[in-house]
A = this chain, B = another copy of it.
């Protein structure tokens, strides 16, 4: 056989849906067709392309693994039947270890109408949001494939992050390219860690590394895409856009010492990343669960304003039901701000005063104090859910991470909903994101004109507009559940609070560590007590997208019954 010197790789960064094996298979075939028109030789998809990722305990269902296997074979056959048998198509799916009867996280290569080769993930992540030891057993064999004379090595996601197999074996295999398939969820700042890691692995195997990542939302995770190729000198040879589906190409020439640099998509600012991650999380949750519209309470405050704006970017203002639910303690300013916001977003706007209902409850129950405050929030929750039930709308909870941390919300009140877009965004960041969104709106990026999955081809209109009323951003935060209430009556100032929370939650600092961090004892004790006591509420809080290094939910698993106070 003549040793070929050139190979064209297609990086198919697609948005799959967990469990929708037929649709995912279709997306694979469509992308191969497209790549074939561009003369690709190897088409690379993300980790667990066929099944979606993460499949969680669905992996344990035998019928699920059988169907995935049958469809994998069908795809191989169909590609051959359509004349693409000579291509090598690399994608992820679920397999089974025949000995242990345990599932495997598997990479397969379709070629000549069959599953030509396979590789099972060796390192199974079991920290943070990952539970792969629960559902998979580990593979123990490396795979090197000779593709028309070019030697390809393979790895799956976590295999890159740990020393040992398969990389340590591929190191001695004189491979020409290391192909990796990934489902690496977004968190702020993680992308640069990926580049550094990939460069070191490229150096280790002395070959360029292709990193194809999943894109899109799945429950509380958002995959940011941003697939890339990096060489052993750490030079970025190709980079796909983030948060969009894409099919990009990388040309490998074994005659060259240095490969040609292909397209390099521009980076986004960190505010844009976090904002778009929240919107894409919501958008994909809606699409994959068949919702076309949302409803939420509009208080005139910044949290509901930001969530409504994100929702408008996700599904269009006309699909939003914004409900203003003023009480006797609501300021006129708040009502005006809610109205202005709905106008700016072109959202449905309805007013439902809660006082008549509150009075009826009160006549019967004679509540006071916290019970009286909570009942106002709960009447609002009931109204939001009535809209959800009546119009088949996804109810959105508008709590931010600072509130969620401190339990500064009413369970079954403002906490109701199927999705909580900003639950992993601290309050100070809520203000920053609001300012950022207003800024780009003024520069002409209107509602729904963000670049992400589902709106890649929508051009910004260029018309300057305001989305979030400035007053919602600048006024002092208040729950407005009693006269002249301010958040700062119950909580430290957010600028300070968010720093303590970041240390306690995201860095798992205990009491002694927090004091060593320089926080005062009173604040530390208050914050720790609030956070620990609110665990039961967080367990019942809706899903929302992880955007930080440590989100509430499956990323941070603490007992509710927990007497530890240090």
- What residues of chain A have their CB less than 8 Å away from a CB belonging to chain B? 17-21, 23, 52, 54-58, 60-64, 66-67, 126-127, 131, 133-134, 218-219, 284-285, 288-289, 352, 356-357, 360-361, 363-365, 367-368, 370-371, 374-375, 378-379, 381-383, 385-386, 389-390, 411-412, 416, 418, 508, 510-513, 536, 539-543, 556-566
- From B66, B285, B513, B542, A561 is in contact (CB under 8 Å) with B285
**A52-B563, A375-B386 given; 4 more Cβ-contact pairs under 8 Å:** A56-B557, A58-B562, A62-B510, A365-B386
Q: Are B367's CB and A558's CB within 8 A?
A: no
- From B63, B134, B285, A511 is in contact (CB under 8 Å) with B63
Task: Write out the residue numbers on chain B whose beta carbons fall within 8 Å of the beta carbon of A63.
Answer: 510-513, 566
Greatest chain B CB density within 10 A among A56, A539, A564 is at A564
Q: How far is the CB of A321 from chain B (nearest CB, A)?
A: 13
Q: Are B378's CB and A385's CB within 8 A?
A: yes
Complex alpha-carbon distance, A379 and B511, angstroms = 41
Q: Are B385's CB and A564's CB within 8 A?
A: no
Q: Are B510's CB and A64's CB within 8 A?
A: yes
Given A134-B127, A512-B63, A557-B57; A562-B356 close (CB under 8 Å): no
Q: Are A536's CB and B418's CB within 8 A?
A: yes
What are 8 contact pairs spanning A and B, CB under 8 A? A17-B561, A56-B558, A58-B558, A58-B564, A61-B564, A63-B510, A126-B126, A378-B381
Complex alpha-carbon distance, A318 and B453, angstroms = 58
Complex alpha-carbon distance, A20 and B532, angstroms = 14
Task: Write out the residue numbers on chain B whose beta carbons fall within 8 Å of the beta carbon of A382.
Answer: 361, 375, 378-379, 382, 412
Q: How far is the CB of A442 from chain B (nearest CB, A)?
A: 35
Q: Are A560's CB and B133's CB within 8 A?
A: no
- From B62, B66, B67, B561, A288 is in contact (CB under 8 Å) with B561
Complex alpha-carbon distance, A555 and B407, angstroms = 26
Task: Write out the residue numbers on chain B whose beta carbons fall within 8 Å of the beta carbon of A133.
Answer: 126, 133
Task: Write out the residue numbers on chain B whose beta carbons fall within 8 Å of the beta carbon of A511.
Answer: 63
Given A60-B508, A412-B412, A566-B63; A218-B561 close (CB under 8 Å): yes
Q: How far is the CB of A223 from chain B (nearest CB, A)?
A: 13
Complex alpha-carbon distance, A17 and B559, angstroms = 11
Task: Write out the residue numbers on chain B whose beta carbons fall within 8 Å of the beta carbon of A52.
Answer: 563
Complex alpha-carbon distance, A511 and B561, angstroms = 38
Q: How far is the CB of A376 from chain B (nearest CB, A)?
A: 11
Q: Are B219's CB and A559's CB within 8 A?
A: yes
Q: Are A561's CB and B361's CB within 8 A?
A: no
Q: Are B561's CB and A18's CB within 8 A?
A: yes
Q: Are A218's CB and B559's CB within 8 A?
A: yes
Q: Are A566's CB and B64's CB within 8 A?
A: yes
Complex alpha-carbon distance, A411 and B386, angstroms = 12
Task: Write out the residue numbers on chain B whose beta carbons fall within 8 Å of the beta carbon of A61.
Answer: 508, 510, 564
Q: Are A560's CB and B371's CB within 8 A?
A: no
Q: Are A62's CB and B513's CB within 8 A?
A: yes
Residue of B nearest to A532 (CB): B19
Q: Are B18's CB and A559's CB within 8 A?
A: yes
Complex alpha-carbon distance, A356 and B66, angstroms = 55
Per CB-CB distance, the 9 closest pairs between chain A and chain B, nearest first, are A63-B510, A19-B564, A20-B563, A371-B389, A19-B563, A360-B360, A19-B562, A371-B390, A288-B561
Residue of B nearest to A563 (CB): B20
Q: Are B374's CB and A389's CB within 8 A?
A: yes
Task: Write out the residue numbers on chain B whose beta carbons fall within 8 Å of the beta carbon of A390.
Answer: 367-368, 371
Task: Write out the residue numbers on chain B whose beta carbons fall within 8 Å of the beta carbon of A23.
Answer: 563
